[in-house]
């Protein structure tokens, strides 16, 4: 809650990343139509979004292509079919998970790809794998981020060591990922402090990717803005795994940089996102996610609860507590 | 975001007020069944809630009793039918609006009433009326609060003067009311500072009543906890006007005082609140409320939008902008 005096102004270094296809893809197995994706691309351009994440670069050895939409694999030609040469100010990002990406083969030279940024997602126990992926992507010409997942479950000393290792690479952004939607703003301040220390030493930026289990995704994101975090993830209508993410419509309503424009976001939510919900795709805040969030657990049990159409929240809570 | 070190402990002075019937009553015209209200009362007792607000003491001269449920009027005998002599640790509150309450007649002596607390709701331009109501209620033996509504629309100097006037009365709690759901946590810190100044001088407590237009009702409430605010309003499943309020289930999950117990809240949401939603009663975060929140407007246009079943959010935004 710093920078009070700057609330009416803006920090030009801030970058907004649209993660709708990637985190939202976890909800619908990446089955977005090309028309949807193209419309989202055009909307992001109008809205002034800085980065659009198209999905994962998942290994086609490990995952059956027939069981997922194409944005789990983000082939360069599929992205190019949407964006052409992307002759715009907006950059294209994809995510690559440590241990689930054939990055040496599937990520080609940047000069031949429409992709600008590789976001390497890692848990605290696979840092060397992440570093190898980061350096591989950097050597091919990409911007990179390192997204430290499930940060609320990691020991503080481990995070310190991990950040020190990662910050010595050529990575551009160190991302705080509250995968479980567990973190309160007060705790986030402390985590940001730790990231800031590593970032300042090595000239890195910091990013935030929040989940809405406790209706704090937007609150934590703007807390982070106040604390100097410059890379902000959001999704349209909060579409994302489980309780979803920070809403693009909330975030662009908050940011004061005139390059951002919230109106096209409203229109896209109205015309496109509402339709997904009508088609039965379910995401967003609900009690089962609040519970796994408070308990600092992976949302997979809550997602199963949702998929099973269960409504016995109180019994689910007893199951969660009983599992401890 | 102060008191970081106290996140694992609790402040015993904190009080939680359940405003479900009162703010939620604005959504369904106060038509709660006696069975619902009695079940809510029992649940609040189990959950350790400190105050339960039953509704308004609205003037029966001004409002047609046949057009509202009984909790708009909160006759003493109706409350007593639910709580008996309320021989519990939980106190009973009602709200009385300046200019809409025949307080001299309708509020009887506390010794003859099941009510413990009168919450006087006022805008910045009706402070003398609020003071008269406060002193009248105090003279009859009640605890009182003064709820300063639409605080985001008031001039800072006016708020200072108003607080100084109110704090000189025998009121117990000065309430910050973000009626429009406009306030960001950074701004709230500044508002709390101002309330703290007046409160410290005159030995008053501070309370917070938040709305969820920007998904910040819970975030602002816990920001307030960190800043020393002790009286916290919440509603089950966030039921309240427009975008609703701070969720009881989120708040009790955050507070660490062992007297609070979130499990009965989960059960009530499952068994009772879900049913209200099924019956077609609509509240909660949606784009139209986000828009009036950001624009610092009364939510009445957004409520109308909802009642009309409209989904053309982007056009609604143009209407709002056009009205300025």
Q: Using 50, 70 and 90 to split pLDDT, how confident is the model at A5?
A: low
The set of residues, in sequence order, having a beta carbon less than 8 Å from that of B223 and lying 6+ positions away, is A1, A185, B1, B185, B188, B189
Tell me the C-alpha distance between A171 and B170, whole Å.
60
Residue B248 near residue B210 (C-beta atoms within 8 A): no
Residue A198: what are its φ and ψ, rounded to 5°? -65, -40
Residues of A in contact with B248 (CB under 8 A): none
Query: Is a pLDDT exceeding 70 seen at residue A2?
Result: no
Q: Please tell me which of the candidates B7, B186, B266 has its beta carbon nearest to residue A187.
A: B7
Residue B107 near residue B67 (C-beta atoms within 8 A): no
Q: pLDDT digit string (tens) for A80-106?
A: 999 999 999 999 999 999 999 999 999
Please report the pLDDT score of residue B8 as a whole number.
79
CB-based contact (8 Å) between A150 and chain B?
Answer: no
Residue B28 near residue B69 (C-beta atoms within 8 A): yes
Q: Which two tokens stand for residue A216?
A: 């704090």
Q: How far is CA A290 from CA A17, A27, A113, A181, A257, in A?
A: 25, 17, 40, 8, 32
> Residue range A169-186: average pLDDT?
97
Instruction: Check residue B174 and report its DSSP letter.
Output: E
Contact assignment for B290 to A253 by CB distance below 8 Å = yes
Please report the pLDDT score of residue B1 as a whole number.
43
The enclosing H or E element of A34 equals helix A34-47
CA nearest to A229, candidates A237, A221, A241 = A221
Greater confidence (A290 vs A4) lies with A290
Interface probe, candidates A270, A302, A312, chain B, greatest B C-beta count within 10 A: A270
Q: pLDDT digit string (tens) for B52-111?
A: 999 999 999 999 999 999 999 999 999 999 999 999 999 999 999 999 999 999 999 999
Please report the pLDDT score of residue B2 as a whole number.
53
| Mode of pairing for the β-strands spanning A91-97 and A205-209 | unpaired
Question: Residues of chain B whose pLDDT is less than 70?
Answer: 1-6, 323-324
Tell me the C-alpha distance between B49 and A38, whole Å.
50
Q: Taking the C-alpha atoms of A276, A278, A282 and A284 in order, what is their torsion angle to the nearest 10 degrees?
A: 80
Residues of B in contact with A317 (CB under 8 A): 263, 266
| Most distant CA pair in chain B, distance | 54
Q: Which two tokens stand for residue A292?
A: 């796994």
Residue A72 near residue A63 (C-beta atoms within 8 A): yes
Tell me the C-alpha distance between B273 and B270, whole Å.
6
Please report the pLDDT score of residue A324 as a whole number.
52
Contact assignment for A270 to B287 by CB distance below 8 Å = yes
Residue A175: what are its φ and ψ, rounded to 5°? -105, 130
> CA torsion sign, B315 to B316 to B319 to B324?
negative
Q: What is the SS3 assignment for A240?
A: coil
At how many degrees (to 10) do helices B313-323 and B287-294 cross? Answer: 20
CA nearest to A288 within chain B: B266
Q: Which two tokens stand for residue B70?
A: 């009984």
Tell me the C-alpha distance between A216 and A70, whole Å.
31
Q: Please tell me which of the candidates A223, A253, A267 has its beta carbon nearest to residue B294.
A: A253
Residue A56 near residue A93 (C-beta atoms within 8 A): no
The set of residues, in sequence order, having a beta carbon less than 8 Å from that of B306 and lying 6+ positions away, is B242, B282, B286, B288
Tell me the C-alpha distance between A248 and A265, whole Å.
7
Please report the pLDDT score of residue A9 as a whole number.
87
Residue B291 near residue A252 (C-beta atoms within 8 A): no
Residue B281 near residue B252 (C-beta atoms within 8 A): no
Task: Give the bridge partners for A182, in sequence order.
Answer: none
| Mode of pairing for the β-strands spanning B205-209 and B231-234 | parallel
> Residue range A195-208: average pLDDT?
96
H helical segments located in chain B: 20-28, 34-47, 76-83, 103-106, 127-139, 156-167, 185-202, 217-226, 248-254, 263-268, 274-278, 287-294, 300-307, 313-323
Residue A233 near residue A208 (C-beta atoms within 8 A): yes
Residues of B in contact with A312 (CB under 8 A): 270
Query: What is the pLDDT of chain A when averaged over all its residues?
Result: 96
Q: How many residues are given for chain B?
A: 324
Please report the pLDDT score of residue A323 as a whole number.
61
């Amino acid at each position: 809650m710093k920078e009070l005096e700057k609330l009416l102004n803006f920090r030009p270094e801030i970058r907004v990343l649209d993660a709708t296809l990637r985190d939202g893809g976890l909800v619908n197995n990446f089955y977005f139509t090309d028309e949807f994706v193209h419309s989202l691309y055009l909307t992001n351009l109008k809205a002034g979004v800085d980065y659009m994440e198209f999905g994962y670069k998942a290994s086609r050895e490990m995952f059956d292509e027939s069981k997922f939409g194409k944005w789990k694999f983000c082939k360069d030609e599929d992205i190019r079919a949407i964006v052409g040469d992307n002759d715009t100010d907006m950059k294209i990002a994809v995510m690559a998970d440590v241990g689930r990406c054939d990055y040496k083969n599937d990520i080609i030279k940047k000069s031949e790809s429409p992709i600008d940024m590789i976001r390497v997602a890692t848990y605290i126990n696979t840092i060397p794998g992440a570093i190898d992926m980061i350096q591989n992507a950097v050597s091919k010409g990409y911007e990179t981020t390192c997204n430290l997942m499930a940060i609320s479950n990691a020991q503080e000393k481990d995070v310190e060591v991990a950040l020190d290792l990662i910050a010595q690479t050529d990575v551009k952004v160190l991302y705080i990922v509250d995968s479980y939607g567990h973190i309160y703003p007060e705790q986030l301040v402390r985590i940001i402090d730790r990231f800031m220390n590593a970032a300042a030493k090595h000239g890195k930026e910091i990013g935030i990717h929040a989940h809405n289990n406790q209706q704090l995704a937007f609150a934590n994101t703007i807390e982070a803005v106040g604390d100097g975090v410059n890379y902000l993830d959001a999704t349209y209508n909060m579409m994302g795994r489980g309780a979803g993410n920070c809403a693009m419509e909330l975030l662009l309503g908050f940011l004061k940089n005139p390059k951002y424009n919230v109106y096209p976001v409203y229109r896209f939510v109205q015309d496109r996102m509402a339709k997904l919900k009508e088609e039965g795709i379910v995401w967003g805040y609900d009690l089962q996610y609040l519970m796994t969030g408070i308990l600092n657990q992976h949302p997979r049990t809550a997602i199963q609860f949702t998929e099973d159409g269960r409504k016995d929240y109180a019994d689910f809570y007893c199951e969660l507590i009983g599992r401890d």
